[in-house]
Amino acid sequence: MTAGMSQTRKRRMPVGLRGCLLGAMAVTAAWSVGFAVGATPAVAADVQSKQWYLGPMHSKEMWKVTTGEGIKVAVIDSGVNPSTSSLKGQVLKGFDATGADGDEFDDYDGHGTTMAELIAGTGKGGGLQGLAPGAKIIPFRVTDTEFQNKHSVNANDTEDAIRAAADSDARIISMSMASDFPGRGEREAVKYAESKGKLFFAGVGNNSGEGNKEQFPASYPQVVGVAATDSAGKASAYSQHGGSVDIAAPGDGIPTWCDTKFQRYCDSEGGTSQATAITSAAAALIWSAHPDWTANQVLNVLFDTAGRGDWKKGTLSNYLGHGIIRPAVNILKGKGNPGAPDISPLTKEKTSGSSASPAASAPGSSQPQKKETAGDAVVAGSSKEKDDGSSLGLIIGGAAAVVVLGGGAFVLIRKRRAA
């Protein structure tokens, strides 16, 4: 259960601008990548030390300015467990779109909980430290292939979850799951989310060397496609490339929950899932510091401040998009041009919506009525203690290399994690 992606269809930039970067920056990777999450167990107390990006991103300094307070992030994934030490008090009522038993707090894989912690985890109890520990999480549970094979499920779960997220008061949608297949209903749901002023991030996939097949929702024009990098600022070997890549973020070697018992973390090769969560958290920090901005302005600043070495501004890399996220350039130095509030940096088209408050469901929405839509109440039984995340510490500002891999076999599966 990994993800893949190709090119075309997404970017509105001239093809020539994307291609000119590659000749000077391409290097070849000679190492292989696996995705077994249940590898070497990571001792809980050592988990945060493995979050290698927190120091280079000047997290500790940024948290003196903002921790992401006032921003809610919709996590569309396998569910989110609100009871981990790092997430107590951080998770709000969400929505279960699976059509199966359980609810949005029943994480059937551990993946969604990991993503939520990387966004808004407080780090308490030795858990993963979120980049935006002052933000709140609204979980939206959808299925993956393995879950679908074991349960009777809602075939329209992804589009229903996206619409529910659009109707919630989350400003940011983070989706670290992907499918090989676009769908009309899902495409319309993505457009609806844009119309409601949401900023939507999704992983471009992990099958760079295995077909690099285009992935959705990352390949829709209104969605920010996120690629992954290693600690040297190089595009990760598995991270997919092409027209869906808009920006990149750290993804390699970040621990994950081992399983649904939530008793230990495991070492991980990493993936565009982790990169997507970290990018969503970076956006939450910027939006918290500038609450009157629109989604377009937050994204403009993410693009404008991204680390791109000596790339010419406006030139896009097939592997890193606009470059590697550097939220501290804005938070600590006040740089970054927010641009027009109503023009999308992705499509260059006029948009509507402010995402200032939740709105009524869209006419004709096929949202199932099994679960309530997202609300503001902290999950019952969880701690309401606040944590400014001050226990831990601009990303990789130098030129970033680009990884190029040969093609390979591609295994077809319907939906999978982007990590």
Report percent pLDDT > 70 for the chain.
73
Q: Which CA distances in Å does 63 have to 264, 321, 371, 393?
A: 27, 27, 35, 9
- A 10 A CB-CB count for 392 gives 17
pLDDT at residue 106, rounded to an integer:
98
- Confidence category of residue 418, pLDDT binned at 50, 70, 90: low
pLDDT at residue 313, rounded to an integer:
77
Options 3.30.70.360, 2.40.50.140, 3.40.50.150, 3.40.50.200; CATH of 15-417: 3.40.50.200
pLDDT digits (tens, 9 = 90+) for 284-298: 999 999 999 999 999
Higher pLDDT, 409 or 262: 262
394, two tokens: 């601009």
pLDDT at residue 31, rounded to an integer:
17
Higher pLDDT, 44 or 284: 284
- Confidence category of residue 314, pLDDT binned at 50, 70, 90: confident
pLDDT at residue 372, rounded to an integer:
30
pLDDT at 370 over 80: no
**Secondary structure percentages of the chain, helix, strand, coil, to 5:** 25, 15, 60
- Confidence category of residue 417, pLDDT binned at 50, 70, 90: low
pLDDT at 211 over 80: yes
pLDDT digits (tens, 9 = 90+) for 390-405: 222 233 333 333 332 2
pLDDT at 23 over 90: no
- A 10 A CB-CB count for 382 gives 17
CB-based burial, 344-360: b 16+ in 10 Å, e otherwise = bbbeeeebebebeebbe
Higher pLDDT, 103 or 38: 103
pLDDT at 28 over 70: no
Q: Phi then psi for 129, rounded to 5 degrees?
A: -95, 120
Please list, in sequence order, all residues whose beta carbon lies within 8 angstroms of the beta carbon of residue 185, skipping any fewer than 6 positions away: 156, 159, 366
108, two tokens: 């059937």
CB-based burial, 46-69: b 16+ in 10 Å, e otherwise = ebbebbebbebbbbeebbeebbbb
Higher pLDDT, 21 or 254: 254
**Rounded to two decimals, what is the model's pTM?**
0.80
Q: Whole-angstrom Cα distance, residue 127 to residue 114?
A: 10
Higher pLDDT, 7 or 349: 349
Rounded to the nearest integer, the mean pLDDT of the chain is 80
pLDDT at residue 354, rounded to an integer:
59
- Confidence category of residue 315, pLDDT binned at 50, 70, 90: confident
- Confidence category of residue 311, pLDDT binned at 50, 70, 90: confident
Q: Whole-angstrom Cα distance, residue 283 to residue 74?
A: 13
Higher pLDDT, 217 or 388: 217
Range 76-104 average pLDDT: 98
- Domain residue ranges in the chain: 15-417
Query: Is the link from the previous residue into 217 a cis peptide, with omega within 30 of 0?
Result: yes
pLDDT at residue 36, rounded to an integer:
31
134 membership: H or E segment, kind and range: none
pLDDT at 66 over 60: yes
- Confidence category of residue 97, pLDDT binned at 50, 70, 90: very high
Please list, in sequence order, all residues whose beta carbon lies within 8 angstroms of the beta carbon of residue 24, skipping any fewer than 6 positions away: none
Q: Whole-angstrom Cα distance, residue 401 to residue 12?
A: 24
pLDDT at 139 over 50: yes
230, two tokens: 């290693």
Higher pLDDT, 359 or 65: 65
Handedness of CA 187, 286, 167, 147 (dihedral sign): positive
pLDDT digits (tens, 9 = 90+) for 163-193: 999 999 999 999 999 999 999 999 999 999 9
pLDDT digits (tens, 9 = 90+) for 227-253: 999 999 999 999 999 999 999 999 999
- Give the residue from 318, 331, 339, 319 showing the smallest Cα distance to 395: 331
Report percent pLDDT > 90 for the chain.
71
- Confidence category of residue 46, pLDDT binned at 50, 70, 90: confident
pLDDT at residue 310, rounded to an integer:
82
pLDDT at residue 346, rounded to an integer:
97
pLDDT at 386 over 90: no
pLDDT at 95 over 50: yes
pLDDT at residue 42, rounded to an integer:
54
